[in-house]
Amino acid sequence: MTTTAITHIASLVTNDPSLRADSPLGLIQDAAVVIEGDRVVWTGESSKAPATDNTVDAGGRAAIPGFVDSHSHLVFAGDRTEEFNARMSGRAYSAGGIRTTVAATRAATDEELSANVARYLAEALRQGTTTIETKSGYGLTVEDEARALRIAARHTEEVTYLGAHIVSPDYADDPAGYVDLVTGAMLDACAPYARWVDVFCEKGAFDGDQARAVLTAGRAKGLHPRVHANQLGHGPGVQLAVELDAASADHCTHLTDADIDALAHGNTVATLLPGAEFSTRAAWPDARRILDAGATVALSTDCNPGSSFTSSMPFCIALAVRDMGMTPDEALWSATAGGAAALRRTDIGRIAPGARADLVLLDAPSHVHLAYRPGVPLVHAVWQHGERVV
CA distance 2 to 4: 7
Q: Give the Cβ contact number of residue 243 at 10 Å.
A: 15
Of the candidates 200, 197, 237, 249, the one whose C-alpha atom is nearest the C-alpha of residue 220 is 197
Q: What are phi and psi of 278, to 5 degrees?
A: -60, -45
Residue 131, number of CB atoms within 10 A of its CB: 25
Per-residue pLDDT of the chain (390 residues; tens, 9 = 90+): 899 999 999 999 999 988 877 789 999 999 999 999 999 999 999 999 999 999 999 999 999 999 999 999 999 999 998 888 888 888 665 545 788 899 999 999 999 999 999 999 999 999 999 999 999 999 999 999 999 999 999 999 999 999 999 999 999 999 999 999 999 999 999 999 999 999 999 998 999 999 999 999 999 999 999 999 999 999 999 999 999 999 999 999 999 999 999 999 999 999 999 999 999 899 999 999 999 999 999 999 999 999 999 999 999 999 999 999 999 999 999 999 999 999 999 999 999 999 999 999 999 999 999 999 999 999 999 999 999 999
* 68: β partners: 131
Q: Which among 232, 234, 238 has a CA at the least distance from the CA of 265?
A: 238
Note whether 245 and 225 are within 8 A (CB): yes
- pLDDT number for residue 2: 94
Tell me how long the chain is. Answer: 390
Question: What pLDDT sits at residue 92?
Answer: 62
pLDDT of residue 95: 47
Contacts of 85 (CB under 8 A, 6+ apart): none
DSSP string computed for 44-77: EEGGGPPP-SEEEE-TT-EEEEPEEE--B-----
Chain centroid, CA 75 distance in Å: 15
Give the residue among 321, 375, 322, 313 at the shortest CA–CA distance from 72. Answer: 313
Contact 271, 71 (CB under 8 A): yes
> Which residues does 169 contact at the CB level (< 8 Å), separation at least 6?
99, 102, 140
Q: Rounded to an integer, what distance in angstroms lies between the CA atom of residue 324 and that of residue 36? A: 38
Q: For 184-211, what is each residue's pLDDT tens digit?
A: 999 999 999 999 999 999 998 999 999 9
Query: Alpha-carbon torsion 344, 345, 349, 353, what sign?
Result: positive
pTM for this model (two decimals) = 0.96
248 touches 302 (CB < 8 A) = no
Which run of H or E residues covers position 210? helix 208-220
Measured at the CA of 72, the angle between CA 70 and CA 75, to 5 degrees, comes to: 135
- DSSP class of 388: E
Handedness of CA 304, 119, 147, 248 (dihedral sign): negative
